[in-house]
Chain A
Amino acid sequence: MASAAASSTSAVAGGSNKGAAIATGSALWNRVPKANAELFALTYGALVTEVLRDFGDDINAVNEQLDKMGHSMGVRCVDEYLAKLSTAAPPCSKFLDTAEVLAKSAFKMFLGITADVVIHEGTEGKEDSYSLIMTDNPLAIFVELPDQYQSPAGEGQPLLEYNSLYCGLIRGALEMLNMRVECKFVKSTLRGDDVNEIKVALKEVVAEGAGAEYQEE
């Protein structure tokens, strides 16, 4: 435990907290109670089916609904994550710090998988972003998309994003850390890509502290 704390402080200085994130991830994974991943996947599948049934052809609304659910799950996941940590969390004060923590600790704790990180440093006029690359996708075991959802119906038509939940999860979790991000599935194994890639881009760092209405007089 002491070494984990020490490495977390060095991680802030070094900027690369991969090793600490992996250690934290497997420590958390060993601590949380487990559930059957097949049950999880089937439950999500049944949910997507139901949402599709409700919204019918409005694919955008389906994606949005799944994303919204992910968002409120993400908000709760942060609480659960912080509550289960035994040592002080390596502070995610910078946006790019969150990449390894998400990929190696949080994904491990909640889904039992880890993701690889590719950082895209922000250049002039472009915001910082990173990609999370997953080979396993616990939400999509057993899943095969019907043809009509594999490719867009026509030019500019929206596409069903089965994994929208992830985007919402990440968005919700990072919102709790005062970062507003945009999340997008760039590659999906369900559409024939060889990996899943989620691109996370920073939009805005929300000001720390309570809103103006709570300020002391």
Chain B
Amino acid sequence: MAPSSSKDSSSDSHSGHPQVSDPALEFLIAEIVRYAELSCPPEGPDEEHSIIACEMAAAKLERIGYSVGYRLCERLAQTKTFGTTAGASGNSAKKDPAAAVAASQLEAVKFLCKEFWIEVFRKQIDKLQTNHRGVFVLKDSELRWLTRFPNNQENARVTAIQLLAFPCGMLRGALANLGIPSVVSCDFLTDQQNMASCSFNVKIK
């Protein structure tokens, strides 16, 4: 899947599918992270204040991400239908509506892991886990935007966590666009040294 998609993107550069360079997008996102940080200065000298400021900045990034994800998903999902119209899940809908809902949610999350993620990061989510009760864990072993952060540095880690609020927001926005309200949080995968590997926990409300 991954090699074919990269081939598509190179051949697309001449056709209608518009592209910009990756550094341009990366610089823009770096600036957004910096803007979020600067526009939420801590209100006092205490550690508590700076934690609140961090949270405010993350919320801001999350909000920006939400609006990006919501709109991007609208574009990408134009031609897609989820769940109920397909034959197999249509049958199961008659038997058990809850199962049908779960099936269409799974399908929506799969869409995000594949098409949506490829559009944003040019790769799929590496691993998708679910408990079939509305909790999904999406693991990406190499998130493009985090690959340039140095390992084992506390301040790089803090910034990386802030930056992750952006894709979190994008996921939440994309799901909201598909009619699925959710809560998304993220974490680094601690079993690896590599900072770029992270997981997104999606909990459907």
Contact = CB atoms under 8 A, between A and B. Distances in A.
A199 B64 CA distance: 31
A46 B22 CA distance: 18
Interface secondary structure of B, over-half rule: helix
A7 interface: no
A26 to B, nearest CB: 10
A34 B119 contact: no
B76 to A, nearest CB: 9
A46 B67 contact: yes
A50 B25 contact: no
B27 to A, nearest CB: 4
B21 A29 contact: yes
A77 B27 contact: yes
Nearest to B36: A50
Interface stretch (A106-114, A127-135, A174-182, A203-211): A106-114
Contacts of A40: 20, 24-25, 28
Contacts of A80: 23
A32 interface: yes
A43 B25 CA distance: 9
Contact of B18 (A37, A51, A54): A37
A65 B36 CA distance: 12
Interface in A31-50: 32-40, 42-47, 49-50
Contacts of B20: 34-37, 40, 110-112, 138
Contacts of A32: 21-23
Interface string A99-135: 0000000000111100000000000000000000000
Interface stretch (A13-21, A68-76, A86-94): A68-76
Contacts of A142: 71
A46 B60 CA distance: 11
Contacts of B25: 35, 39-40, 43
B18 A76 contact: no
Contact of A112 (B10, B19, B64, B122): B19
Nearest to A136: B18
A141 interface: yes
B63 interface: yes
Interface string B16-55: 0011111111011101101100010000000000000000
B120 interface: yes
Given A33-B22, A36-B19, A37-B18, A46 B64 contact: yes
B75 interface: yes
A6 to B, nearest CB: 27
Given A46-B68, A50-B60, A112-B18, A38 B75 contact: yes
Interface of B: 9-10, 13, 18-25, 27-29, 31-32, 34-35, 39, 60, 63-65, 67-68, 71-72, 75, 119-120, 122
Given A77-B24, A112-B20, 19 more contacts: A29-B13, A29-B21, A33-B21, A33-B23, A34-B10, A34-B20, A37-B19, A39-B120, A42-B72, A43-B28, A46-B68, A47-B64, A51-B35, A69-B31, A72-B31, A111-B21, A112-B21, A138-B18, A142-B71
7 contacts: A33-B23, A34-B20, A40-B28, A47-B31, A50-B64, A69-B35, A76-B27
